[in-house]
Amino acid sequence: MNQQIHLKPQFVLGSASMASGAALVVSVITDASLATILIYLGAFSGFLAVSKWLRSSHTERKIIRAKAITGMSAGVIATGAYDLSRLLIVKLFNIPLNPFKAIPVFGQLIIGANSPESAVLIWGILYHLLNGILFAVAYCFLFGNRNWKWGIAWAMCLEIAMFSIYPSWLHLQAVMQEFTIVSISGHLVYGSVLGLFCNRFLKINIGGSYGN
């Protein structure tokens, strides 16, 4: 007998929200255009999201809407806190490290290394913000109903993923100690803000329907 497997909307949408991060991994490994990969993965993730939304019940849609809005709001705030904390640590402790070194590289991967510097920077910033927001949306869908400390655990998973790529990709071997301190500190702040924000505002926005 054939059995249809029903995946919860939160799991599908949470996984789909990781598309931008997955695109970077594929781009770095294959040396392919980040823009092209973003388009394909974004289209596929969008298809999954729309399909799941159309097949969701009224109650599920209420939860989806609340988690998406909460996740995006939390992502903006958590990403801002992440960047500010890294900048403060570098400045306060005179650490010889540019915490935003990856941003122009993001831009180059999207529009090409020979593009105008200002355009490269703008696209890099936009991609950086997109990642921070979508990682927060993914967390909100997958773990937003849990204790806020799960936000820190989520951020540490992102940190592990970053450590598997960034050092060799950005040639950080000479400043690994400094990079480790700044990166872990930033992700601790990101995860704390994300976990606290989602835990508080999902309860307000969803109320009795709160949870996965």
The pLDDT assigned to 207 comes to 62
The pLDDT assigned to 3 comes to 40
| Distance in angstroms (rounded) separating the CA atoms of residues 95 and 74 | 28
Residue 201 to residues 15, 67, 71, 189, 207, Cα–Cα distance (Å): 21, 9, 10, 18, 9
Domain boundaries, the chain: 9-207
Instruction: Tell me how far apart the terminal alpha carbons of the chain are, to the nearest angstrom.
Output: 29
Mean pLDDT by 10 residues, the chain (212 residues): 54 94 95 96 95 91 93 97 98 95 96 96 98 98 93 98 93 93 98 96 67 48
Tokens found for residue 52: 């799941």
Q: What is the pTM of this model?
A: 0.91
Q: Which residues contact 100 (CB under 8 A, 6 or more apart)?
A: 83
Tally of CB atoms within 10 A around 197 = 24
Residue 124 to residues 35, 62, 103, 177, Cα–Cα distance (Å): 11, 33, 5, 25
Q: Measure the CA dihedral 188/189/191/193, to 10°.
A: 160
The pLDDT assigned to 9 comes to 78
DSSP 3-state of 27: helix
